[in-house]
Amino acid sequence: MLKQKIHRINNFIGGGLVKKFVIWIVFIIMLLGILTTIFVQVSLTKTLSEELRERGQVISRNLAASILESILIEDTVYVHRLVENTKKTEKDVNYIYITDAGGKVLAHTFEGGFPGELLTVQINLENSPHLLDTGDGIIIDFTAPILDGRAGFVHIGMDETSMHKKIDQTSRAIITLTLFVGALGVLMAYIAGNYLTRPIRSLVKGTEEIGRGNLGYQIKTDSTDEINILSKAFNEMSYNLNNSINELRESEERYKKLVDSISDAIILVDSQKKILSWNSGAEKIFGYCLEEVAGSKINILFYTAIEDDNLEIQGGENVFKRKDGSNFPGLISNKPLQDRRNAGNVLVIKDITKQKDLENLEARLIQSEKLFMLGKLAAGVAHEINNPLTAISLHTQVMLKKTWDEKTDRRLQIINKETDRAARIVKRLLEFAHQSEPKISSVDINREIDNLLNVLEPQLNGTKITTDLTHLPFIMADREQIQQVIMNILTNSIQSITKDGKISIKTVVKHGYIEIDVKDNGCGISQDNIGRIFDPFFTTKMPGEGTGLGLSICYGIIKKHNGSIDVKSEVGIGTTFTIKLPI
């Protein structure tokens, strides 16, 4: 209770220790002063009052004894003299008067007559002494009987004025002294407070220094008291803190180097999947610096955002997005932090672009091999079939020149037609197999595209074709073959479009290559099929509608030109073919 009070008072005072110290000291001194003044007032009043009363009693009794005979023998001169003398010699006597047994005033010390009111008051009061308020001050009236009252009474009025004056003087002296001591106390308390709080202030400074990061700050101390112990403890703490922090820093440095030396991206995310930290490998892979992504959702790194925040990030292959917007395939692994709070996860993302490329290369190698084998087979078969087909066609021609019944004639016509078709397939097989060497000449790709578009126009069926053709250098290529490739791709695109078709053709020079993008908004190619579209005889068309050789031939032509052909497609959105040809 008292403690809370003091605490509240201290809070009320506010300010520093010195201020509190000074205020408390002054408060205590003032309290002491007040208490002393009260005590002195009380005790002095009591003592002096008692003394005054005793004196009054003694004087009145003595006077009664000494005046007795003079009264009885009616020696009024002597009575008056005695009364006057007593008043003169005794201090604090305000008045003396003598009455006889009947209450008649025999002698008094009042100048200019006796105040009659005093007599009436005296009669009413029996006990001696009693107090009279004359307006100028309090008078203690003592009544002493002379010869048991038979000869009269002595009345003496003792003045309290001088007593009060003494008390007032003493009180004033004490108050003055208290104020003086109070002032002195303020000064002393200020000096002492300053002296006592100096080590505390240096402690405060030390704490502030450490707070500012100046670890290992040492306080100077020369005292021998508790403050010294505290200062030493502080210095030790400061030293140890410095050492610990340094060790921690070194350790952190080591771990940072370790983590940064890993080329994979190591990302620390919190439970909200926000990026907390990552290593320099991550910076290299994604192109962001840490400050840019810290606090952002991990989603910004994914090509396809994870919609559900609560969903755990699945380990395995995924496509990631760099700062420049480009994508790359990556392998992600996810491990929850082995932390008490389970605050987040550690994600490790490995860039597997090169692996993917290698896989592609390998796939193409196999493709080439396949095609080569297929070509040989097809060439053999075609050659073998070509001779009988030639014979069948020749004989059918011969027979048609003759006149047959209508039925036979019609049958011959069918044979001729189908033979032609067979011959055409064989021819294409041979084309595919032979992959005939390109006849090189300088070709303007843009002009070829324009020519092709003119030829194709009747077949468009409302499909809009836009072109964005930048100036291209001439390249050395087989014009017919290139025409065939673009024609083939455009035909595929037109065929994939169901309605409101849009095809855009874009040509650009990039890194020593001419790049031709053909983009449509057709039905797209499923992920399952996209790897097989360049395989011979692979077709999504109904049997008899396509040979499945078109894109395979295109692939072969571009390969022969040392170029590349890529496809990106999404089902329902469209497909983009990219052809690259060296300049």
Q: Which residues bind another protein (CB under 8 A)?
A: 1-2, 5, 38, 41-42, 45-46, 68-69, 72-75, 95, 105, 110, 112-118, 121, 124-125, 130-135, 138-139, 147, 150-151
287's tokens: 């192109």
The minimum distance between CB 41 and another protein, in angstroms, equals 6
Q: Is the dihedral of CA 85, 90, 93, 99 positive or negative?
A: negative
Q: Cα 431 to the chain's mean position, in Å?
A: 70
Comparison of 1 and 542: residue with beta carbon closer to another protein? 1
State in angstroms the smallest separation of the CB of 117 from another protein.
5
The residues, any chain, with a CB within 8 Å of residue 245's CB and separated by 6 or more, are 215
CB of 185 to another protein, least distance (A): 23
Nearer to another protein, 114 or 303 (CB): 114
Collapsed DSSP state (helix, strand, coil) of residue 329:
strand
Smallest separation (angstroms) from another protein to the CB of 147: 5
Cα(550)–Cα(539) distance, integer angstroms = 9
- Which residue's CB is nearer to another protein, number 146 or number 332? 146
Shortest reach from residue 177's CB to another protein, in Å: 19
Side-chain-facing half-sphere of 265: CA atoms under 13 Å: 28
Tell me how far the alpha carbon of residue 404 is from its chain's centroid: 98
Examine residue 129 and say whether the peptide bond preceding it is cis (omega within 30 degrees of 0). yes
Nearer to another protein by Cβ, of 125 and 245: the residue is 125
DSSP letters of 178-198? HHHHHHHHHHHHHHHHHHHHH
For another protein, which is the closer residue by CB, 122 or 318? 122
Q: Which is nearer to another protein, 55 or 479 (CB)?
A: 55
Residue 134: CB minimum distance to another protein, A: 5
Long-range CB pairs of 425-428 (<8 Å, 24+ gap) are: 425/547, 426/382, 426/385, 426/386, 426/389, 427/382, 428/547, 428/549
505 is written with which tokens?
């053709």
User: Alpha-carbon torsion 411, 415, 421, 422, what sign?
Assistant: positive
Smallest separation (angstroms) from another protein to the CB of 138? 6
Nearest CB to another protein, comparing residues 150 and 376? 150
Residue 575: CA count within 13 A, CB half-sphere: 22
The residue assigned the tokens 């011979």 is 536
Dihedral angle of Cα 14, 15, 21, 25, to the nearest 10 degrees: -60
Cβ at position 26, least distance to another protein in Å: 19
Residue whose CB is less far from another protein, 151 or 433: 151
CA–CA distance, 217 with 221 (Å, rounded to integer)? 13
Q: State the nearest-atom distance from the C-beta of 169 to another protein, in Å.
A: 15
Q: Which is nearer to another protein, 44 or 567 (CB)?
A: 44
